[in-house]
């Protein structure tokens, strides 16, 4: 009788131990090394996912590093320096065209338009794209998405960038704004918040958006190596779920709340400017409301690359885009 009693007690202890171990495993966090191509208010949902605890809710400890540039970001990802990269989808095509044995797979979209604006040196109350003809245009680095989208939009509006403009493309990305401020160019293609800051300071005036002109395109996406995705699908799923929560949150919250939530990532930018930029990007539909990268947008991206003479080869949607995880989350 006594042995039966001890046996039951032993089984109860085992059950408690198993339950405790199970709870402990749920509390463990998975570290994810995330490399972003630049630091930008354009990526507001990503920063909201961090500050609002959406990654934490999914059991993820995200270590964010800014790698400054598409080439550097992809090198970091492919060399194993990051698990996930936030970068333009075109970079995955460049890598694939080089017959990579472990290609980068796009699994979630963060921004769905170009993020640059056309800024003029003088106010233009009745701007027409023909006004650019004969002017000096300070564009973006050749081969990057801003430049390719910029030239695509110019051509769609009847401007031949090489024949109708004095096109300047030999200035480093980080120096374009200062070059315009010092007097170079009649027009410039700028990201926020620099465009809004220039307006406030009377240096330039936002007269159109390359984002609205170019339609939806997978401008900035999350990608990971195929091998990482195959081995860590649950981690990628939880990451995508957190991003989707943040996407919804940014759409639903007042702009001032969003600005305050991401302010810590932009020490040198006044809060009111952050808020204005959030409004501008949100109003023009730059923040993707779903992580699903659409097939039509994928091929539109390649049309833009082809128009710019930068498409190394046409890549099927199914080869480099995984929508299963994002679609699963959207259907939850």
pLDDT at residue 190, as a whole number: 96
Question: Rounded to two decimals, what is the model's pTM?
Answer: 0.90
Q: Is residue 19 part of a domain?
A: no
Domain limit, last residue, from 159, 190, 214: 214
Mark whether 54 and 186 lie in a shared domain: no
Same domain, yes or no: 279 and 156: no
299 domain-assigned: yes
pLDDT for residue 27: 62
Looking at every residue in the chain, the average pLDDT score rounds to 92
Co-location of 156 and 235 in the same domain = no
CA dihedral 83→217→46→326, nearest 10 degrees, is -70
Residues 100 and 123 in one domain: no
pLDDT score of 144? 85
Residue 224 · residue 108 · CB < 8 Å? no
Q: How confident is the model at residue 151 (pLDDT cuts 50, 70, 90)?
A: very high
Q: What's the pLDDT tens digit per position in 273-301?
A: 999 999 999 999 999 999 999 999 999 99
> How many structural domains is the chain composed of?
2
Q: What token pair was written down for 164?
A: 């109708």
The pLDDT confidence band at residue 6, using thresholds 50, 70 and 90, is: very low
- Residue 82 CA to residue 62 CA, distance in Å, equals 11
**For residue range 112-140, what is the model confidence (pLDDT) as tens digits?**
999 999 999 999 989 999 999 999 999 99
Are 123 and 203 in a shared domain? yes
Q: Is there a single domain that holds both residue 232 and residue 141?
A: no
Inside any domain, residue 188: yes
Range of the domain at 133: 116-214
Q: Domain holding 143: CATH number?
A: 3.40.190.10
Rounded Cα distance between 174 and 131, Å, is 27
Percentage of residues of the chain with pLDDT beyond 90: 88
CB 89 within 8 A of CB 301: yes
DSSP string, 212-247: HHH-----EEEEEEHHHHHH-HHHHHHHHHHHHHHH
pLDDT score of 244 more than 70: yes
Query: Where is the domain boundary, 173, 194, 214?
Result: 214
Q: What span, in angstroms and rounded, lies between the C-alpha atoms of 106 and 222?
A: 6
Going by DSSP bridges, is the β-strand pair 205-209/166-168 parallel, antiparallel, or unpaired?
Answer: unpaired
Residue 238 maps to a domain: yes
Domain-located, residue 59: yes
pLDDT digits (tens, 9 = 90+) for 180-216: 999 999 999 999 999 999 999 999 999 999 999 999 9
DSSP-derived 3-state class of residue 314:
coil
d(C-alpha 304, C-alpha 327), whole Å: 26
């Amino acid at each position: 009788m006594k042995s039966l009693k001890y046996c039951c007690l032993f089984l109860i202890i085992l059950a408690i131990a198993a339950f405790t171990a199970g709870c402990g495993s749920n509390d463990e966090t998975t570290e994810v090394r995330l490399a972003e191509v630049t630091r930008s208010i354009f990526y507001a949902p990503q920063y909201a996912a961090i500050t609002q605890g959406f990654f934490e809710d999914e059991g993820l400890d995200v270590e964010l590093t800014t790698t400054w540039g598409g080439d550097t970001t992809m090198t970091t990802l492919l060399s194993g320096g990051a698990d996930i990269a936030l970068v333009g989808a075109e970079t995955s095509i460049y890598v694939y065209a080089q017959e990579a044995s472990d290609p980068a797979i796009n699994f979630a979209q963060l921004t769905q338009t170009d993020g640059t604006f056309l800024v003029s040196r003088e106010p233009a109350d009745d701007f027409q794209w023909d006004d650019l003809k004969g002017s000096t245009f300070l564009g973006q680095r050749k081969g990057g998405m801003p430049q390719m989208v910029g030239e695509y939009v110019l051509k769609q509006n009847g401007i031949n960038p090489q024949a109708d403009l004095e096109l300047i493309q030999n200035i480093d990305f980080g120096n374009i704004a200062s070059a315009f401020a010092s007097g170079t160019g009649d027009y410039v293609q700028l990201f926020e918040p620099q465009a809004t800051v220039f307006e406030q300071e009377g240096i330039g005036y936002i007269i159109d958006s390359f984002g609205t002109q170019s339609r939806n395109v997978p401008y900035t996406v999350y990608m990971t190596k195929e091998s990482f995705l195959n081995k860590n699908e649950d981690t990628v799923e939880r990451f995508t779920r957190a991003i989707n929560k943040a996407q919804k949150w940014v759409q639903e919250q007042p702009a001032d709340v969003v600005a305050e939530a991401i302010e810590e990532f932009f020490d040198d930018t006044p809060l009111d400017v952050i808020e204005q930029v959030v409004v501008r990007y949100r109003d023009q539909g730059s923040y993707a409301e779903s992580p699903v990268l659409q097939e039509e947008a994928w091929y539109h991206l390649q049309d833009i690359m082809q128009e710019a003479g930068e498409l190394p080869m046409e890549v099927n949607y199914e080869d480099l885009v995984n929508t299963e995880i994002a679609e699963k989350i959207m259907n939850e």
